[in-house]
Chain A
Amino acid sequence: MIKLESISKRFDAVQAVDNLSFTIDRGEIFGLLGPNGAGKSTSIAIMCGLVSADSGKVELEGLTPTTIKARKKIGLIPQSIALYEELTALDNLNFFADLYNMDKELKDQRINWSLEFVNLQDRAKDTVKGFSGGMKRRLNLAASLLHDPDYIFMDEPTAGVDPQSRNKLFDSVLELKEFGKTIVYTTHYMEEAEKLCDRVAIVDQGKLMALDTVDGLIRAYGGESQVTVQTNQGLEQFESTNPAKDLVKVLQDSVQLEDVTVRRPDLERVFLNLTGRQLRD
């Protein structure tokens, strides 16, 4: 379990994180959703012990994240491709594995598993600079899994990734959840949060705006569905909590239906309703 209590962090004039408090349970995929500059990366950096908070408290299974014991449980997939491009994939993995003081047998075993997990075993001896963006992202993930961490922090892992690699990455995230890993996933794509996350924390300007499951957030902050109906008598638009029931009402009195669109509320709407701004503003 990861516990944040009233965490705040300021960089000069910018309040990056403002009194953030929540708990992340073991084995869940926890999403941090917000626009660029919302404080997601800083929050992850504080949770990993990379940045110290100005105030508040962070605990990872009761440990301070900066301790050696806690660090062994942390796997960080940075937003940037944090690899040595001049070296081969294998050289990179060997180096990062050595930082965790593994014996050779375990190291080789973990390197093979990681390469297989991201489907790069055939490219192990190639230099990273020859990899596509998607392959680099996959190797970036593999490098973070070498020591079999319990808590995996993914900071915008799909940035600049093609749709095929993105889907492969989604599968990997879900597979890691099946292995019992706790995953903290930051994104500004609501589709990713909706697809992957058990719970989502919506953050804006460093503040926690809402925290719940995707359905819970939509129910609470998404508002009504938007229904657009085209009949022989013209176009009609209305909002509804129960579109099917309200549609039946519209279709009475021999009105002929030509087209109907029901737009259910989503996390974009949730964000809009919470902040008055679009997620991608």
Chain B
Amino acid sequence: MLKPIIALMKKDIKLLFKDKMAVFFTFIFPLIFAFFFGSIFSGGGGASKGMKIAVADLDQTTNSEYFVEQLQKADEFRVEILSESAARESVRKGKKVAFIILPEGFGEDYAGLFSGNPPELLVGLDPARKAEAGYLQGSLMKLGIGRFEKAFGDTEEMIQQLDDSIASVQNSDDIPEDWKALLKDYLPKMKDLTQKELDKQKASGEQSSGFSFGGEDGDNPMMPLKITQQEVSVQKSGPRNAFAITIPQGVIWAIMGCVIGFAVSLVQEKTLGTVNRLAVAPISRTQILAGKALGCFLAQALVVTLLFAIAYFILKVEFNLLKLLMAVAAVGVCFVGVMMFFASLAKTERSVAGLTNAFLVIMGMIGGAMIPLFVMPGWMQSISHISPVKWSILAIEGAIWRDFSYTEMLQPIAILLVVGLITFFLGTRMLKLEEA
């Protein structure tokens, strides 16, 4: 019973691999498509320009604004200024890698070089992103050191800083008396020296340029920033990278290649006359059609396995394996049915190729195989409901980045199975297994 079915399937797979054009459109083109567009959408080879962070400035002082400005200028970051809640939400939804909140009092602490606390930043990010956490902390510390440069880089500001510090020391209750006495002596002297330097600069017409301490930022023993880190549980709500979108599209292109190849091969059996050999062999019509269907299904499975192996190991696309298997099986059933249906309509290889190609390209266009569904206008998304390609992509994306529950997976899978079974039934009923 099974031997002839397997023989038919093996023969068709062998024939598929003998046809260089079919191999290209089934295996190579979808890879090129997925890789090429994935790279484009990733922004030039997949690497993004800086870490996407959301910043909320609750302090709204000159110093806090200055710090935000430094963040924006830094190459390490791509900053978006948001409210606190929006910043937190953006990280939770995975739109930003981290949020940075500048709490009230940040500016005051930022200015206080010799007194008070280091300025505090509240940083929130996904605990899973350990590498980014280290990178983020290092980059922020580097910017924090800038507050010393800022203070010592401007003579007038330094005098102001010293005045503030003298006042602060005088009013402070928690500085030990020995230290207080030392600072009361030291800070006014330092202010006098600074004032003289400023006067000299003014007399010579120079712009206030400050002192140089001659050391590197890292030589400064004072703490540049106090970073309080918060863990944010990220709600996965979008594709991790562009390949998560282009791989499902590539899968659809590969399946289209399979469908056209097998529909043509079925019609070819008639035009070649090999169908007569099959028809006089001691096998049933059901076995012949099952062999064809199985061949088409297996070819689809092969190409999908290849694409997802590349997606997982090379392009770092993650997925839920069980959900993916469910999706791929449903897509396979659907397109085997479509293949059978179109093979039953045409009498020549040319007509079946043209017919199937036209149908699949249109379905692909409106179903998201070319332009991702979520960037389509609303009316187009409504039309896409009629396309099995849309439901295929949705089912596959459900297993990759849409994080569908099993219940949510049921809708696209059920639609695909219904389309597949109806078209398979119609196709097998209408298909005439006799020489064209």
Contacts and interface: CB of A to CB of B under 8 A. Distances in A.
Interface residues of A, number: 29
A86 B4 contact: no
Contact of A50 (B274, B279, B283): B279
Contacts of A50: 276, 279-280, 434
Nearest to B275: A82
A134 B407 CA distance: 61
A113 to B, nearest CB: 18
Given A50-B434, A51-B434, A71-B280, A82 B7 contact: no
B129 interface: no
Contacts of B279: 49-50
B280 A86 contact: no
Interface string A45-57: 1001111000000
Which label, helix, strand, loop or mixed, suits the secondary structure of the A interface? loop
User: Max chain B CB contacts within 10 Å: which of A72, A78, A81, A87?
Assistant: A78
B172 to A, nearest CB: 91
Given A49-B280, A68-B282, A95-B7, A86 B274 contact: no
Contacts of B4: 98-99, 101
Contact of B277 (A68, A72, A96): A96
Interface in A58-84: 68-69, 71-72, 74, 76, 78-84
User: Max chain B CB contacts within 10 Å: which of A74, A79, A98, A99?
Assistant: A99
A72 B11 contact: no
Contacts of A81: 272-273
Nearest to B276: A78
A21 to B, nearest CB: 23
A91 interface: yes
Contacts of A98: 3-4, 6-7
A143 B435 contact: no
B274 A48 contact: no
User: Max chain B CB contacts within 10 Å: which of A50, A71, A79, A84?
Assistant: A84
Given A78-B276, A98-B4, A84 B11 contact: yes
Chain B residues touching A, range: 20 to 34
A133 to B, nearest CB: 15
A49 B281 CA distance: 10
B283 A83 contact: no
Interface stretch (B12-20, B211-219, B307-315): B12-20
Interface in B1-55: 3-4, 6-8, 10-11, 14-15, 18-19
A254 B288 CA distance: 78
B14 A87 contact: yes
Interface string B275-303: 01111111100000000000000000000
A76 B7 contact: no
Contacts of B3: 98, 101
Contact of B280 (A74, A80, A91, A95): A74
A68 B282 CA distance: 5
B15 A78 contact: no
Interface in A87-101: 87, 91, 95-96, 98-101
Contacts of A100: 281-282
14 contacts: A49-B279, A71-B280, A79-B273, A81-B273, A82-B277, A83-B272, A84-B11, A84-B15, A84-B274, A87-B11, A96-B277, A98-B7, A100-B281, A101-B282
Given A50-B279, A78-B277, A95-B10, 18 more contacts: A50-B434, A72-B282, A76-B276, A76-B280, A78-B276, A80-B435, A84-B11, A84-B15, A84-B274, A86-B18, A87-B18, A95-B8, A95-B11, A98-B3, A98-B7, A99-B4, A101-B3, A143-B277
